[in-house]
Amino acid sequence: MRVLVASDLDRTLIYSPSALALTMPDARAPRLLCVEVHEARPLSFMTETAAQLLSELGDAAVFVPTTTRTRKQYLRINLPGPAPEFAICANGGHLLVDGVSDPDWHGVVTARLAEECAPLAEIQAHLTAVADPVWLRKQRVAEDLFAYLVVERELLPGEWVKELTAWAEELGWGVSLQGRKLYVVPKPLRKSAAVHEVLRRTGAELSLGAGDSLLDADLLHAVDHAWRPGHGELADTGWLEPGVTALPERGVLAGERILREFLKAARSGV
């Protein structure tokens, strides 16, 4: 049986220095492997055990990194194991085949966005008008597909996020707050759509997935079985569906547990 594993990366399999605080006291911290460096700074880590499990998973299944990161941000990650043939970037906006974006898939996505939701320029203008410099640090556009803000999380009013969510909903966009980043993403831009395309191309008979944020909910719903860690937006809201297992582990050890579950399921075909 051919198995496809589609997994979110940040705060699911790999962790920034700030996200490592979710793990455990320093005295019990596991040995870590750096998997991303940018401008001479280490940015992302996984445990050495998780790195070994991911290397084994690459031989047991079709592993598909599935991320909201842009292509440039994704390509600077150096994951252990065989280089993935497929990767999903920009929340499904780009399907990479051997590291190169598939133009046909990107064309399908952009046509769908033009038909089904308000334009990105309208979202950008609204964010510029309503964001408060007290807590806003950066405003960015990713791949000309969606927008995100870098914020001071402790200063960001919860009511502001609720109001933005309600406003965006009417225009066919969704809001997701992950660490210090607040994403505003068109609803037709879904990881699950790209996963279905990879399933079609590979003919995989069993699909597995994992993720921690609201942007991963459609991915977890789309696969045969999925796992979510004990941290993140989905855990905070108690989100759970049939076929999704909520794990108790938080932080980098949750990534290790998810990879154990992937490997066990891929080897058993169940």
100-144 confidence digits (pLDDT tens): 999 999 999 999 999 999 999 999 999 999 999 999 999 999 999
Question: Which pair of structure tokens corresponds to residue 110?
Answer: 């952009």
State residue 117's pLDDT score: 96
State residue 25's pLDDT score: 57
pLDDT band, very low/low/confident/very high, at 178 (cuts 50, 70, 90): confident
Residues 6+ apart with CB under 8 A from 27: none
The span from the CA of 54 to the CA of 9, in Å, is: 12
Alpha carbon dihedral 123, 127, 129, 132, in 10-degree steps, equals: 170
State residue 270's pLDDT score: 72
Asked if residues 222 and 196 have their Cβ atoms less than 8 Å apart, the reply is yes
- In order, the DSSP letters of 82-128 are SPPSEEEEGGGTEEEETTEE-HHHHHHHHHHHHHHS--HHHHHHHHH
Q: Where along the chain do the CATH 3.90.1070 domains lie?
A: 118-186
Q: Is residue 26 pLDDT above 70, yes or no?
A: no
Give the range among 18-22, 50-54, 216-220 with minimum mean pLDDT. 18-22
pLDDT band, very low/low/confident/very high, at 29 (cuts 50, 70, 90): confident
For tokens 């909520």, what's the residue? 246
pLDDT digits (tens, 9 = 90+) for 184-203: 999 999 999 999 999 999 99
pLDDT digits (tens, 9 = 90+) for 30-42: 899 999 999 999 9
Q: Where along the chain do the CATH 3.40.50.1000 domains lie?
A: 3-110+189-268
The length of the chain is 270
Question: Which of 3.90.79.10, 3.40.50.1000, 3.40.50.460, 3.30.160.20 would CATH assign to domain 3-110+189-268?
Answer: 3.40.50.1000
Question: Which amino acid type is present at position 1?
Answer: M
Helices 48-60, 252-268: axis angle to 10 degrees equals 20
Give the range among 17-26, 45-54, 119-128 with minimum mean pLDDT. 17-26
Asked if residues 177 and 135 have their Cβ atoms less than 8 Å apart, the reply is no
Question: Which of 1.10.3470, 2.60.40, 1.10.8, 3.90.1070 would CATH assign to domain 118-186?
Answer: 3.90.1070
Q: What SS3 class is residue 144?
A: coil
Q: Is residue 9 pLDDT above 70, yes or no?
A: yes
Q: Is residue 24 pLDDT above 80, yes or no?
A: no
Question: Which amino acid type is present at position 154?
Answer: E
pTM: 0.93
86-89 and 94-97 beta bridge pairing: antiparallel
